[in-house]
Amino acid sequence: MPQSAPPGSRGAESGMEINALRDIAGQFDGMLIDQFGVIHDGEKLYAGTLRVLSELQELGIPVAVMTNSGKRAAANRQRLVKMGVPRSQFVDAVSSGEVAFQSLKATKAYLIGKDGEDYGFDGITFVADPRDAEVLLILGSNTPKTSLDDYRKLLSGLALPAICCNPDKLMLTPKGLMPAPGAIAALYESLGGHVTWIGKPYASIYEHAARLIGNPERILCIGDSPEHDVVGGRNAGFATLLIMTGVSAGHDPATLSPQPDYWMESFKW
């Protein structure tokens, strides 16, 4: 078994390669695992997912599944179960949308999201004119149908506080990479708007997820994004494991920044 780096360590020049999660699993009391890019690819589970979750359940290590999704936890929980993950194998899904909803004080909002999507923000009145709203909720992106120039025209001159529930700047669509909610929020900031960012790598989603699994002393964050999963996990004081799938697929682990505590090629036991 490889020597372990201390949970949440920040001093290593490069992450330690491991062959499988079983090499280090016994060093942790809880795990926060990214959904897209680690557990599944957006359409199907990765080959090692069910074995990993089954073994963690057998060891009594609680798991929360994390995602930068503007939808609430229930929608993400249902998605996992529909894809074949037994409900007993994770404590719950933790979405940036859920964290935002639970902290929301406003009752009238203007929604920026994808046409036809239900984000589950029950009890919130969505208004047709942003000038009638108390808050701007950036939950999704309607690109390419709605361009960044369209969003610029919509947002120019507004003084409305905004909440961005997905810090991702780019998203993959059938037409290629397109601006994601984070790009719209960044545009609003450039226009002088105030944005509260919720989701990885920001603190509130990690605090929520850690509470959900009982605030164990030794937590491992597993993800595919240095920018979101490694930065967020480290800032929360947790150890990090980068999986070379999802957004890290095809990259040389040594070139990624910041470096995780550990890395492995695929999510496997």
pLDDT at 83: 97
Domains with residue ranges and CATH for the chain: 16-98+200-264 (3.40.50.1000), 104-197 (3.40.50.1000)
CA distance 40 to 128: 35
Question: Phi-psi region for residue 142, left (φ > 0), alpha (ψ -120 to 50) or beta?
Answer: alpha
First to last CA, the chain: 14
Residue holding tokens 């150890």?
A: 239
pLDDT by position in tens, the chain (length 269): 232 333 444 444 679 999 999 999 999 999 999 999 999 998 999 999 999 999 999 999 999 999 999 999 999 999 999 999 999 999 999 999 999 999 999 999 999 999 999 999 999 999 999 999 999 999 999 999 999 999 999 999 999 999 999 998 887 677 777 889 999 999 999 999 999 999 999 999 999 999 999 999 999 999 999 999 999 999 999 999 999 998 899 999 999 999 999 999 999 99
pLDDT at 10: 42
CA distance 219 to 167: 23
Q: How far is CA 59 from CA 125, 213, 256, in A?
A: 44, 14, 31
pLDDT at 176: 72
Tokens of 100: 């935002």
Contacts of 105 (CB under 8 A, 6+ apart): none
Decide: residue 118, CB within 10 A, 0-12 exposed, 13-18 middle, 19+ buried: exposed
pLDDT at 178: 84
Reported as a single tens digit per residue, the pLDDT across 93-129 is 999 999 999 999 999 999 999 999 999 999 999 999 9
Reported as type and span, the H/E element at residue 181 is helix 181-190
Contacts of 250 (CB under 8 A, 6+ apart): none
